[in-house]
Homo-oligomer: A and B are copies of this chain.
Amino acid sequence: MFKWLTSDRDKGTRAFASVADGLQALYKEKLLPIEKDFSFHHFFSPELTDADFSARPMVMLVGQYSTGKSTFIRHLLGRDYPGLRIGPEPTTDKFVAVCKGEMDQVIPGNALVVDKSMPFTQLSHFGNNFLTRFECSKLDSPVLNGMSLIDSPGVLSGEKQRIKRGYEFEEVVKWFADRVDMILVLFDVSKLDISDEFRRVLLALKGNDQKIHIVLNKADRVTTPQLMRVYGALMWSLGKVIDTPEVSRVYIGSFWDEPLQNDEQRKLFESEENDLYTALAQMPRSAATRKLNDLIKRARLARVLAFLLNHLRNKMPSFMGKSKEQKKLIDNLPNVYGEIAKEKSLAMGDFPDPQLMREKLEKMDFTKFPKLDKKKMDALEKMIHEELPQLLKLTTEEAASSQ
């Protein structure tokens, strides 16, 4: 069912790919050298991997069991993914990353987290109990050019499952929620109540509320008045759990290949399905913009770090009293920030948290900091002020032309 992936919408996917390539090239050539010179990875965050650039935007599906998560993925792809299981009982027992591949293949969790070309390496933290319940299902589908899909085990009620699982389900959901671009929360008209377990899952999504889209599935299984009751009750309880004044978008319909059972609301369901596909199709483009935005932020931070360490090195006396001076500088960090900001016309908001910097700086020898390399810094400026905005224009121009 990828009729929704029209050539127009496919442009979003292409914009994503070209922006990702552009960002990666710029990063390696201009930003990474400065990050290495000034120990950016020691101060802030590790070097970006290829996967950080090339990984497609991700959509995670969560929901109570049997709400139709796996069926929805099959419907989107227009085919089964390798390892897919669908049924009225709790079926999916693993987290499955459904990703683009040349041919059908299932990669088990332990192998997956050592593959640096995939964005899952950090998941090794969750240990073996989780890794045996995590896999990647690769297949060739045009839908997967623009995104990867994360299928998840349905939430059951009761304590037993937690013990059986042997890993912190909500922690894993949170890990994904922080990284994916969209979270589809599925409900089923016949399972009105939100179990305590599922409430905890929803709480794990806190902080990523913007990404949440809710699907009220199997809406054709009840009469219209019943549907209104169910939908109203769902919103009523969700409003209590999700603590934002903005209402999450809800898509009401039946998201699979079968004909509608009660088709009174066919028009509504079709328009809802169309809205959801539009949101999915637009995701690659907005993911590209977000990645670009993140890289600009990172570059500004690296620039500030370079100026700061250079400044600290220059302030050190040539012969004696080094450690005393170093202590003084650390104590005076906010003033040091002010001086640099003024001298280089930088925004104070670009500077990192002084407390965090103090801790990191304490164990370092300021005289060992490298000098500024003017050529490298000029290249960085050019990247921030010319090349990245150029890439940004690329995404918006393509967006405009695809309207």
Question: Which residues of A come within 8 Å of B, CB atoms?
Answer: 224-225, 228-229, 231-240, 245, 247, 250, 252, 264-265, 267-268, 271-272, 275
Contact = CB atoms under 8 A, between A and B. Distances in A.
Nearest to A192: B247
A228 B247 contact: no
Nearest to A272: B225
A347 to B, nearest CB: 36
- Oligomer copy total: 2
A235 B228 CA distance: 11
A21 to B, nearest CB: 38
A189 to B, nearest CB: 14
Given A267-B264, A268-B225, A268-B228, A247 B252 contact: no
Per DSSP, are chain A's interface residues mostly helix, strand or loop, or mixed?
A: helix
B239 A236 contact: yes
Quick one: which of A224, A234, A235, A252 has the most chain B CB within 10 A?
A235
Nearest to A243: B240
Contacts of A229: 247
B231 A232 contact: yes
Contact of A224 (B225, B233, B250, B268): B268
Given A224-B267, A237-B247, 14 more contacts: A224-B265, A224-B271, A225-B268, A228-B252, A228-B268, A228-B272, A229-B247, A231-B232, A231-B235, A233-B235, A236-B236, A237-B239, A237-B245, A264-B267
Contact of A239 (B225, B238, B250, B265): B238
